[in-house]
Chain A
Amino acid sequence: MTTEQAIQVPADKAARGQVRHHGSGRGNLRGWMFVGPVVLGTLAFNVIPVAPTLVTSFTDWDGLSAPKFTGLANYEQMFSGSDPLFGRSLINTLIYTVGYVPVGIVIGIALALLVNNRLRGMAVIRALIFLPYVTSLVAVGVVSRWVFSDQYGIINAILAAFGITGPHWLGEPASAMAAVIVTAIWANMGFNMIIILAGLQGVPESLIEAATLDGAGRLSRFVHVTLPFLTPTIFMLSILQTIGSFQVFALILVMTGGGPGDGTYVYIYHLWYQAFTLRKMGYASALAVALFAILLAVTWIQNRLSKRWVFYQ
């Protein structure tokens, strides 16, 4: 939509005889006075800094003294297995992503269908569900660490009411990862709900009515009419959430600190630890470049697969 409008604007102006501004020295200067700050700011803080990351990824550098060029050594270290935590963090990130993205989207769909009812008080319900999303992930992590606490946590208190002794959630690698995933789903369910709610509006009313007349039941209408129309939204969410999942950090740092053992030690945690605790800026840069490559690859695969299931009108 944006590019389309960008093209429309000049045509619009030309039609009104305003082309005289185009190309005139004063007009150019004026234009740049308006867009200059954001363009220069983006160049300085977003675009230009990418190049040094590529360069330092081929060096051994502590961030302070002069970097030593080491060629592909950082990349060799990653892929030859001499940094076992690289593989571990990648696997943990994948587990997190696979656990979080699909379930998060299914819950988002369920919630969107629920609050799409035109009943009194729905706006309040929508707001309440959205609330965890606008809350700091650190606060969410603090609260959820406590919710999952083995002795004082509400989950084990509820289990105890049924005579079940709850596990030490954050004390075992598998259940700690599960607790982090559940927390992430909880924190983001409002966002997924809102996006899918918007997607539900793209479903043509007439098709639902036609299906109803043909005698399709509610479930059948959902599966055969609504769901296909939601697939572009679901696809977009799955891309966004996957990219977000590969960068999960605050929640991990606060809830588990990467532990127990290396049970929740994820990719960005590894990158952060290498860069700012071990001061291996060169290696951390290589990790950042590899992350970018991984994200491109994953997005490309998702895109390819989408041709099989995403339905465009």
Chain B
Amino acid sequence: MTIDETLAREQIEQRRPTMPEGDAGGGRRRHRSGGILAPTAVYVACVLVAIVAIGPFLWMLSSSFKEPGDVISLTPRLLPHPFTGENYAYLINNGVLPFLRFLGNSAYITVLVILGRLCVCALGAYGFARLQFRGRDAAFGLLLASLMIPDMLMVLPLYSAYVETGLINTHFPLIIPPIVANTFGTFLLRQFFLTIPREYDEAALVDGASHFRIFVSIILPLSKPALATLAVLTFVNVWNDFFGPLVYLSDVDKFTVPVGLAFFQTQDSTQYGPLMAGATLAIIPTVLVFVFAQKYFTRGISMTGIK
């Protein structure tokens, strides 16, 4: 059984633009500039908006390298004059709130959830997109319905269930439910799998491949863009999750970055320097992932016809 992967990929590329609504298909170009302003005015407005959007982050970054006296200066300057790593050193060595530990906890939880979620959601998506079995449509309906239940309705019973089973104050509630109960990811991947031509599975079935083999050797390799999108969305959600860790954890050693940062704030609300250093460390991974994931966002946008 040999499948020409390149050919397959090309066919998918051709099919995919029809997936989202819009009229991007066929490479038709837009004539309209779309704007109601002259180009110069657009640029001026864009620069202003960009300053508003990232200005606070730049200031945060700069202040994290300032000396304590300069952070809270009444005449703020953007570039730290005496440039110092003191705030980061304090953040890491203060002994009360081990920030490196928080980073480590967040990192391992995030990585586990991403890997686990990709497996569980992809398996489920394959089942729903490609297999026939009794109860399939009912199970799919159940997943759809579960999307409408607000989190608040399940937090309290889950909390007491974790207390009873001794899983409270462990990382279990932050890892296992996000892996096995992710309906959104299952839908996302199912939508993508449906766009992959069925002929491939059939050729492979005729050649005697099992469904698991088809899933691993054909569907997954062809679905890298969708898997990457789910991975990025999962990263942003899990890394930034605040409510879960706040509710389920009590030992400082087990905290994740957002909870650690929040505690840092209530403990030392006047020490802006270390706080800014902590906030910087908290957002660096997201910014990196976001920059890396840019092409998926832009592809999503270009698929809908915007250039």
Contacts and interface: CB of A to CB of B under 8 A. Distances in A.
A46 interface: yes
A127 B305 CA distance: 17
A41 interface: yes
A139 interface: yes
Interface residues of A, number: 113
Interface stretch (B6-14, B46-54, B84-92): B46-54
A186 B286 CA distance: 17
* Size bracket, chain B contacts: 35 or more
A142 B280 CA distance: 10
B35 A292 contact: no
Contacts of A28: 133-135
B56 A118 contact: no
B286 A134 contact: yes
A160 B76 CA distance: 12
Contact of A291 (B126, B152, B161, B259): B152
B239 interface: yes
Interface of A: 1-3, 5-6, 9-10, 12-13, 16, 18-19, 21-23, 27-35, 37-47, 49-53, 56, 63-64, 111, 113-119, 121-123, 125-132, 134-139, 142-147, 151-152, 154, 157, 160, 186, 189-190, 194, 197-198, 200-202, 205, 208, 218-219, 222, 243, 247, 249-250, 253-254, 257, 268, 271-272, 275-276, 281, 284-285, 288-289, 291-292, 295
Given A45-B177, A200-B34, A35 B124 contact: yes
Contacts, number: 327
B1 interface: no
B99 to A, nearest CB: 13
A150 B257 CA distance: 27
B96 interface: no
B133 A27 contact: yes
Contacts of A111: 49
B257 A38 contact: no
Contacts of B191: 1-2, 5
Contacts of B234: none
A18 B150 CA distance: 39
Contact of B265 (A35, A134, A254): A254
Nearest to A37: B120
A31 B133 contact: yes
A294 to B, nearest CB: 10
